[in-house]
Structures are given as C-alpha cells and as structure tokens.
Structure 1
C-alpha cells in the first residue's frame, strides 16, 4: 500500500478504514469504498486506478509459460511418486505438488500406510519423482506408528542403495506432531509449520485425520460454526500449498450415505465433512477393503505348491473419485511388510 503513487490524504483515509491490501480494496464497490473511507467519488476513482496499475505490475503466467517451464519455481507443478510404479502409473505420475489431495476410506484400508510411504518418497530429488524436501505428519487420532515407519524406512533404504540412503537420511526429515484439539491444530498450522517451511525443510504436509477433530469439536447444532472453520482451514492449506509449492494430503474418514443411489457401483459410504470440505479438495482417492485375499509368497514342499494362510494379505481397492487431470477409475493393491503395492 505504501508504494501507491497517490495523494497521501487518500492513502491515509484508506489506512484509517483498515483496508490494508489490494484485495480488500478491489473486493468493494465504489460506493462501499466511499462509505468506508469518507472519500469523494473522484478520490475513489483515483484510488482504484492506482491499485489496478500496481496489481498489473505483478508477474503473470500464461499456459505456455507453464508448459515450457519458463516460470518461477513455485509455479512448477510436480508429481510426487507413491513408491510403487503400478500406483504411479494409475495416478498419472503421482500426487500433485499443489492443492489438496484427500485420501478417504474405512478403517484398515491402508490410508496411513499410503501416507507414510509418501513421506519417504517426498525426500527424493525432483528428477527421481520426489519433492526434494521433508514432510510434516500431523496426527489427530491414534499415536503415530513409529515402528511401522522404521520398517518402511529399512525397505526404502535398501531400494535406494547405501550411498543414497546415507545422503537422504529420510528418518531425520519427517516431523511428527500430535494434536487433539482444534486450538492445537491451528497453532501447528499458523506458528510451527511456517518456521519449517521458511527453512526449506518441508515439501509435504499430511494430516491424519481431519474428520477426527471436526467431528469431536462440534455438536450437531453447530454445523454453521463447523462449516466456517472448515472454510478457513481449507483456505489456509491452499494458501500454503500454492505459495510454497507444497503437496497437502488429508486423510478423511467415511460416513454412511443417507441417499443411496440405485445406480450400479454406487457406494453406501461417502467421505465425511460434507460438501463444505469437498469444495476444497482437488483430488479425492477412496480406499476400501475387498473380500479377496492374496498369498504374497509361495513355497514348495514335496514338489507341491503350498500357501501359508497365516501370511495371506487382504486385497484393497483405490478409486479416483475426482481429479483435475485424471478420469474416474479403479485399481487394486495390497499392504505387506514392504509397504503399499499395486496389483496388475
């Protein structure tokens, strides 16, 4: 505001009206600005002209700039690999580095396993399908499964080789935060997280899960207050993602669909938090358990192929409900000792 080439008297009236940003000025009509500032219509015209000129001085991007890569680093849209080539192919290369990706599903569908795997691949260099940065994992429900993470780290390091494993030191760049109340979540998002981002330590934010807090903090009669908090929270996550080119992954619970459709294939479970939250989600993945099982390993005893039922693993499904760059489709995967693996 101080850089505006305008009469100081007009600038003083604008500041007195607490209009501190160009956005706050341009969002008001000329008559509203007159009422808030007490300025004349001619002064308001001068103000709007000066603000418009200053706004158009800001750098702009075209579709061609994005395609050719001749744009600021923060505008580069990257894709975060999942750690499985089959799932990467299914997701068109991986998770988008900008916007909010929701991973919804019932209990034991593999949501947390999938997110922990993303925390590891995020630390790979960009040319290897990573984001070249650490991850923040915010837990709102159960304790963070640190033992399972160590298992995944061991497998991940073996795949990368000792030299790359020592260079990455992936276990040192996953920052875990436990929150149980909304105030703690806001403190984490507004205070603690910006410090890590400013140091360039974070390129992935995982919240597991979002519904746990919003369901427990608000009663059925406080739906309006919950919607306002969801809007504020979704807007804050989008701002962080777009400004710093950070991938945001939010785990969500599911709830019963009270309006089941007669169309074939329609699920009787839908993601929680309703339409308010859905409007902030760019990509929604729905994870489910199926009734099928798979034997990950087979041995031969007396020239007869046998299967140890103790090690049978459940087959799960992943559906792209909606995404800006992908069609609605379905694939299958399993979760074993090595992590999340897609099936062909």
Structure 2
C-alpha cells in the first residue's frame, strides 16, 4: 500500500493528481508521511484541499474487518533448518509469514544459513520441507552456486534429486531503488508464475545482505538519517506485506558494528537512552566478547523484524568425535610416533566453533548454542541439549551456557591438571584454557605490607627528630 502510485487511484480527480505530481508526491507514503501544511506548500494548493486529498486516499486503502472464522483457518507453515536441535531452539523450525533476521560478523556463517534454507525448503513435507522454492537476492557478491551444489550433495538430509539449483531463483539488487522495484513489482510476478504446477511455489525469500545497501561515504546529517529511516520503513513494509499475503518466510542477512560501553552516568535524565537499551535487542552476551558487536540499521529496523539471531566467531576449535575415534584406533595399531604426527595434522584441521544466540523471537525464547559449519552445512554440536521445559512449553529463557554439564564444571575447577584439560567433553579445550586464565593472581607481599601498616607507619614516626636531618637550616 505504501508504495502504491497515487496516479492509479480512481477516487482522485485529474486535477488533484496533477497537483500531486507538481509537488512530486507520487505514492501513498509520500503523502501520508508528510504534514498537510507541507503538502499544501509543495503542491501549491490550500490546506483544505490537501486534507481532502489525504481523506480520499485513506478511504481508498481502509482495511476491511474480517471474521475470526475466516482467520482461524489460516496457519503458518514451518520447514526444517536441517538440524533437529536447531529446529527445537527456533520453536519448531522456520515459520512462514514472518520476517527473520540473521546478523553476524564476517565468516560467522550468515550466507551458509541462507544457502541451507534455500535447499531445505524444497524438501517434501514428509521430510520437514514445504515442497517449495526459494528466491535469493544478493546486494554485492554473486550467489555461490558451487557451495549450494556441494550442500545438496553432502548434507545428510538433502540430495540432488530432492533439492536442486533449478528451484533457487536469484537476482542482484545493488541499490535501494532497485530493491524496492524488485519487491513491489518483480517478486510478486515471480510468485504468480510459480503458483501453478508443476512449478514449486515460492516459500522463502533471502536478502544477502541488507546493510550493504546503506553503506555511504557521504557525511552523516539529519537529512541522510531521515532518508535512511524512510528507506528502511519502505523496505520492511514491503517485506511484511509479502510475508503475510503470500505466506512465505523472509530471511534478511545483516551486518554488525562495534559496540562501545560508555558506562552508566547517574547525572543523565530519567529518559530511556538508546545506548543503554540497545544491548537488550541488538547484542548477545552468552560468551565473553559476544557483546562487543551489535546489529546494524538501528532501532527502526529492529522494530520491524520478528526474530533476531546473532552469529559470532568464538575463536575456539574442537576435534570432531569421529576424528577422536580415528586417532584412538591409530594409537592402538600404529606406533606412538605415527599417532603423534597424525594428531599434529589434525590440530591444524580442527573445526572452528561458532556461537548462535536468539536475541528475541515471537515464537521462541532467547537461547544460545554452539554450532559448526562443515561441508555438510550448519549443525549444532552433539553435546548441546535443549532444556525439556523449552521443548514442551518454552516458558522462559534458560540461563546462558545452561547446556554445560556438571562434569565440565569439575574439570574447569582444576585447570592446572593437564590430564583434566584433555578430558573436556561439553566444551572445547580453548574454552577451558580461557576459563583457567581467569584465576586470581598472587597477592604482592609489598602491597599487602603497606595495606596493613600504612597508618601505623605515619603514627609511629618521630618527625621532630627527623626534621633537622631533612632541613639543615632549621637550627
């Protein structure tokens, strides 16, 4: 509705359309987001005429009431992410009719999410899919088709016969006007073309990545911020309209920026400060260092999305279970030298551990999980478990790192023992070393002496006897 052209409204007269064209007010958002006095000034008409035009446009786009009996038959569909643990954490999988955001730093796995979901949505409904197809919009880089084909071959749930590149439509949108045109004109036409068999219906739209369209070298001014907010509102309004009208899932990949904690200032007013509040909806804080990044595009965009998922690089590595079992077999058969050389080779290929945090969601509680990205795609680590309460009713968010077992706590308590570190099961060795580094340092004896004797030292010293030595002219 917001991007609908006013020239197509039959309720407006030809003279009214001409006046709006003179003031360069072309669509509904241009008319409703500007004060009537400003419209009258731009179009060179009276205030009464401007208010009359606004009233006619509002009547033309008024929402008709609907009966609850009609709405109750509508339901959102869900499709799997390709990992059962991840599906449970997200409230059952990826739901249609919603706007999902995956935000994270470079190499955190955002594009892997988009590629994997573009394939899992094609699965039959009996396997957790929707028997649908996907549309992948890129803003800078091209669609990595080689990786997409590799996922379809290597993922245990996928196969080229069920999921293929032919059901992933792609288009490059390098600027904001082009993206708005695609969302308002081309994409609805694509959905209509795929609505009839044997074509698979469009069930997923991926935008990779939205924040790149707002990169600019121009100086930031009030005008540029207002224009950016207007563009974000127009894009999000189109996305919500597409998601609800066509019952599709929309996944938007976003970037992060550095977050600086300026500390609490007691002298500030009682008004809510964005800096203090953004950490609740723009950052994650489940592992050390995760809160140093926050989602881009600010509060305007955060108010538009239904789910925000943050991906982080932890810097930790882990040897997969199958690698450890292979090393154990090698140690039994080969010599110690061969086993050591094999282990050194494995250290270089240890899998990087990444962190996923559900910051907020309308269908699932906040949660944090460790995951890895391999040739098979994204998968949550096997030793991570979802609390039973969340699996059944999902009443509230669990405590961070709630999946850590008591055995891990025991090991971390004695990090000075090298054998204990080698037996870490729930977390990786890098995490145990980081925790062990936080031990309390030894108290300096000299500092302890002065803390205990500072007052006594000054009270017991005879300054009068020392004064002649310090000042020879005193006598």
Which among 301, 323, 327 is matched to residue 361 of structure 2? Answer: 323
Q: 1:98 to 1:226 in 2, by over 3 A?
A: same
Q: 1:191 to 1:315 in 2, by over 3 A?
A: same
User: Which residue of structure 1 lines up, in the alignment, with residue 310 of structure 2?
Assistant: 286
User: Which residue of structure 2 lines up, in the alignment, with residue 3 of structure 1?
Assistant: none
Higher-RCO chain (CA-CA 8 Å, sequence separation at least 6): 1
1:30-63 Cα shifts (integer Å, max 9, x gaps): xxxx945999xxxx9xx9xx999x965x54236x
Tell me, in whole angstroms, the C-alpha distance in 1 between the residues paired with 2:213 and 2:297: 11
Q: State the secondary structure of the residue aligned to 1:216.
A: coil
User: Which residue of structure 1 lines up, in the alignment, with residue 149 of structure 2?
Assistant: 150
Number of residue pairs the alignment of both structures matches: 304
Q: Which runs of 4+ in 1 moved over 6 A?
A: 261-264
Bigger mean CA offset, 87-96 vs 295-304: 295-304
Tell me, in whole angstroms, the C-alpha distance in 1 between the residues paired with 2:77 and 2:364: 15
User: Which residue of structure 1 lines up, in the alignment, with residue 372 of structure 2?
Assistant: 334
Asked if the contact 1:101/1:284 (under 8 Å) is kept, the reply is: yes
Tell me, in whole angstroms, the C-alpha distance in 2 between the residues paired with 1:211 and 1:104: 10
Q: 1:108 to 1:169 in 2, by over 3 A?
A: closer
1:151-196 Cα shifts (integer Å, max 9, x gaps): 101124x6356xxx53x35221001112222232223222321121
1:69-97 Cα shifts (integer Å, max 9, x gaps): x51xxx32122210011111111111221
Bigger mean CA offset, 286-295 vs 209-218: 209-218
Bigger proportion of residues as strand = 1
Between structure 1 and structure 2, the one with the greater Rg is: 2
**What are the residue-to-residue correspondences of 1:10-159 with 2, within 5 Å?**
14-16=11-13, 35-36=48-49, 59-61=66-68, 70-71=72-73, 75-156=74-155, 159=157
Asked if the contact 2:135/2:202 (under 8 Å) is kept, the reply is: yes
Q: State the secondary structure of the residue aligned to 1:220.
A: coil
1:205-228 Cα shifts (integer Å, max 9, x gaps): 000100001123875221111110
Q: State the secondary structure of the residue aligned to 1:152.
A: helix
Asked if the contact 2:123/2:163 (under 8 Å) is kept, the reply is: no
User: Which residue of structure 2 lines up, in the alignment, with residue 236 of structure 1?
Assistant: 238
Tell me, in whole angstroms, the C-alpha distance in 2 between the residues paired with 1:213 and 1:51: 33
Which among 176, 184, 199 is matched to residue 182 of structure 1? Answer: 176
- Shift of residue 294 of structure 1? 1.5
Unaligned runs of 5+ in 1: 1-11, 26-33
Asked if the contact 1:182/1:217 (under 8 Å) is kept, the reply is: no
Tell me, in whole angstroms, the C-alpha distance in 2 between the residues paired with 1:335 and 1:123: 21
1:74-132 Cα shifts (integer Å, max 9, x gaps): x3212221001111111111122112100000111111111111001111234432232
- Shift of residue 259 of structure 1? 4.0
1:255-314 Cα shifts (integer Å, max 9, x gaps): 112346689757121100101111111100000111321123322324177641232111
Asked if the contact 1:260/1:267 (under 8 Å) is kept, the reply is: no
- Shift of residue 318 of structure 1? 0.7
Q: Does 1:171 align with 2:165?
A: yes
Unaligned runs of 5+ in 2: 1-9, 18-26, 33-46, 196-200, 265-278, 280-284, 334-338, 385-475
Tell me, in whole angstroms, the C-alpha distance in 1 between the residues paired with 2:96 and 2:263: 34
Q: 1:318 to 1:198 in 2, by over 3 A?
A: same
